[in-house]
Structure 1
Amino acid sequence: MTTVLVVDDEPQIVRALRINLTARGYHVLAAADGTGALRAAADGKPDVIVLDLGLPDLDGTAVIEQLRRWTSIPIIVLSARTDAADKVRALDAGADDYVTKPFGMDELLARLRAAVRRGIQSLSGSEDSVIETDTFTIDLLAKKVHRDGAEVHLTPTEWGLLEMLARNRGKLIAQKHLLQEVWGTGYEANTHYLRVYLAQLRRKLEPEPSHPRYLITEPGMGYRFEL
């Protein structure tokens, strides 16, 4: 049974999540503050954590930073904070995803399932070297992309960006982190680079570049690769 740790100081949120998650076969642990969250994460060994940022003792971002010192448990932030800076700080601290309150339960459950799958994959230490979509195929080992049986030419920068997103498929990657990983330190403010290169990748890979199916933008936060 998959164990979910819900960290929130709003009893009604915890109750709603407990009811919905339990009905779908999850085991639910709960904590109302950051200290309790750290203890529950260590003792309960959850498979995924759903974390509010506005906790009474520790800021949720500080909780994420402390968790990331010893665990790679997937963390989904569930917060009323809508400011882009708060979202980026949480993602940079190590959160895997960010859902804004008020939230749709179906969307949260889908994000939860994706996070659990990533956690299982990480624990197994396995990663498929070939990623297949309905439109194109990415070979991470050969560093090649094929579409309709033909190889798609990508520049080194395009490949670096696509590889980073593909290796973290389903996970929201902050703009700052992408810029650091692909372009290097000192480029964190050049967010227009991402817009330009994502547009190029979409033209080469997406069935409808103006309505991307795989290379998804989360405004003000970052990007994700969805299968």
Structure 2
Amino acid sequence: MKDKILIVDDEWNMRNLIKIHLLPHFALEEAANGKEALEKVKDLDFQLIILDVMMPDMTGWTVCERIREKGNIPILMLTALTDVKDKVHGLNIGADDYLVKPFDPEELVARVHALLRRSVEFNNENDNGTITISDLTIIKDSRLVLVNGKEVDLTPKEFNLIHLFATNQKQVFTREILLNAIWNTNNVLDVRTVDTHVKNVREKLRKTGLSFNPIKTVWGVGYIFQTPDGKA
């Protein structure tokens, strides 16, 4: 059975363009505005939503927030906005990925496949407290991190840090948020502590042979989890 995808865009030409490239691979539904999209999400079981940001009456951001109140369907947002602050805002309210218009159709297809694959792997593995992403395995109950089956020697705070990123892959974390979540402090004088721990986690995972860098720097903002395909 093909995965079902909902395409939400107020422009018929854009919806049709997306359909042309995705129709061979997926079962597709369309919505021309946010209200129609929310109605369809209530009644139909979708594996992915492709959501335009700039729509009249209800923006894609609002639609994304409404969908996130009820479930965790992967959301790929389409936008003509290129400012990093707009992308960070979308990620923080629940978007899983961004694609800037105009986009290469091959990149669209690749990102859709990556989101679907990531969603299935994450949901299946997380049921028993274990997260597996490529050659990285994080076992919550025993507080173990493995790379290709080899244990990585992390401190308790380092484990908490990588586990937080891996379980909140779409969220950008500022240093202040991380200080509060991991160290239970809001003292801005301690922000270098975050950078030091991120550096240590990256270095330990790299030395153990991890094939990708799981923590990406969002310049001027903080950090976000980075998948093996380089997407954050």
TM-score under structure 1 normalisation? 0.78
Query: What are the residue-to-residue correspondences of 1:79-118 with 2, within 5 Å?
Result: 79-118=79-118
Give the distance between the partners of 2:57 and 2:99, measured in 1 at CA. Answer: 21
User: Contact (CA 8 Å) 1:6, 1:30: kept in 2 or not?
Assistant: yes
- Give the C-alpha shift of residue 84 in structure 1: 2.3
Give the distance between the partners of 1:140 and 1:208, measured in 2 at CA. Answer: 19
SS of aligned partner of 1:217 = strand
User: Contact (CA 8 Å) 2:129, 2:141: kept in 1 or not?
Assistant: no
Give the distance between the partners of 1:76 and 1:8, measured in 2 at CA. Answer: 12
Q: Using the TM superposition, name which of 5-14 and 195-204 deviates more.
A: 195-204
Letter in 2 for 1:172: K
Q: Which residue of 2 aligns with 1:214?
A: 213
- Is 1:46 the counterpart of 2:42? The answer is no
SS of aligned partner of 1:206 = helix
- Give the C-alpha shift of residue 132 in structure 1: 6.9
Q: Which residue of 1 aligns with 2:36?
A: 36
SS of aligned partner of 1:78 = strand
Give the distance between the partners of 1:102 and 1:187, measured in 2 at CA. Answer: 42
Residues 42 and 123 of structure 1, relative CA distance in 2, 3 Å threshold: farther
Q: Supply the RMSD in Å over aligned alpha carbons.
A: 3.5
Identity of aligned residues (%): 31
Of residues 156, 170, 175, the one that matches 1:172 is 170
Give the distance between the partners of 1:193 and 1:10, measured in 2 at CA. Answer: 47
Residues 76 and 18 of structure 1, relative CA distance in 2, 3 Å threshold: same
Q: What whole-Å deviation, never above 9, does each CA across 1:201-221 have from its counterpart, x for those lacking one?
A: 121112599x97231526457
- Give the C-alpha shift of residue 100 in structure 1: 2.3
- Give the C-alpha shift of residue 186 in structure 1: 4.5
Residues 84 and 36 of structure 1, relative CA distance in 2, 3 Å threshold: same
Q: What whole-Å deviation, never above 9, does each CA across 1:53-83 have from its counterpart, x for those lacking one?
A: 1011112111111112222211111212122
Give the distance between the partners of 1:16 and 1:167, measured in 2 at CA. Answer: 34
Letter in 2 for 1:38: L
Give the distance between the partners of 2:40 and 2:148, measured in 1 at CA. Answer: 49
- Is 1:3 the counterpart of 2:4? The answer is yes
- Is 1:161 the counterpart of 2:161? The answer is yes
Give the distance between the partners of 1:14 and 1:66, measured in 2 at CA. Answer: 21
Give the distance between the partners of 1:185 and 1:34, measured in 2 at CA. Answer: 39
Q: Give the paired residue count.
A: 222
Q: Using the TM superposition, name which of 55-64 and 120-129 deviates more.
A: 120-129
SS of aligned partner of 2:145 = strand
Letter in 2 for 1:37: A
- 5+ residue gaps, structure 1, are none
Letter in 2 for 1:32: A
Residues 154 and 80 of structure 1, relative CA distance in 2, 3 Å threshold: same
Give the distance between the partners of 1:5 and 1:90, measured in 2 at CA. Answer: 18
Give the distance between the partners of 1:149 and 1:118, measured in 2 at CA. Answer: 20
Give the distance between the partners of 1:185 and 1:59, measured in 2 at CA. Answer: 35
Letter in 2 for 1:142: S
Q: Which residue of 2 aligns with 1:68?
A: 68
- Give the C-alpha shift of residue 173 in structure 1: 2.6
Give the distance between the partners of 2:80 and 2:193, measured in 1 at CA. Answer: 29
